[in-house]
Amino acid sequence: MSRKVDWLQILLQCKRAVQMQITPLLKKIDCQQPSLGVGAGGDPMKLMDLVAEKAIVNTIIKREIAFTLISEESGIKKFGETPEDHFVTVDPIDGTTNLTRRIPFYATSIAVSTKPSLRTIHTALVSDLFHNRTYTSQKGKGAQRDGKKITPTSETSLEEAVMGLDVNSYKIRRLTPQLSRLIESTKHIRHFGANALELCYVADGTTDAFVDIRGKLRTTDMAAAWLILLEAGATFTTPDGSPLNVRLHPTQKVALVASANKKLHEIILGLINPKREPND
């Protein structure tokens, strides 16, 4: 039987380690950043990504904890004698392009689960590395931003809602029929380029919804934010309204809709799926 681990404190230590390790590299960010190959998730890797991942892994190893790493960069790696005790799903730098272009919106995302499946996540952290703002949650204990409880908004007017919408896809022509009614119904659409952080913005009321129906978003990007959103009280489903339950794997991809409340969520789902009956 595995020993009890204070994962919340360990994830906060991981965040501090990431900040410490990438700070010197930020001074050289204007220099050309060579690609270091393609990560397990399919994207080109940068030095920042690997340094951040190493900081997370070393922080956990120092606590003599056995675990299985599920990373967008290095894939699946096992550490210790009983690596199935804990599964740690990470996106070391979510928003690497933003970071390398000095756009102040990037984060580190870490989720801990008992199995390699979304529903078993019990502790999560998403940290805004530029603004030093950290979102955390533990299953059944709510969600916090810098230690203070957060809740989503009560906004139910789609016209007034601020909505994140990721349309970065070669499939945009195919998706346009689904999205056009949604886009026409709101006047405040945003996309900042780090989806884990954008999802947390729904959790704390900064925005009212986030929609990504591309089927390109990896579970490593949204695993931690998923728990933070649910614990904050937001609504999170697939585009057809089904609960989201997928494996945690670097190549596993999802489509999702996250909303501040159920009423707004139903409005969004109805526009994406015109034939859908409310609350089905």
As given in the structure block, the two tokens for residue 91 are 């996106």
The amino acid present at 9, given as its one-letter code, is Q
Which domains are present in the chain?
A: 7-146 (3.30.540.10), 163-272 (3.40.190.80)
Characterize 33-46 residue by residue with b for buried, 16 or more Cβ atoms within 10 angstroms of its Cβ, and e for exposed. beeeeebbbeeebb
Cα–Cα dist 50/46, whole Å: 7
Tens digits of residue pLDDT in 51-82: 999 999 999 999 999 999 999 889 999 999 99
Residue 94 reports pLDDT greater than 90 = yes
As given in the structure block, the two tokens for residue 151 are 């809740």
Cα–Cα dist 110/113, whole Å: 10
Q: Is the pTM of this model over 0.75?
A: yes
The pLDDT of residue 275 is 65
Residue 3 reports pLDDT greater than 90 = no
> Which residues are within 8 A (CB) of 42 and not within 5 positions of it... i.e. 6 or more apart?
251
Residue 1 reports pLDDT greater than 50 = no
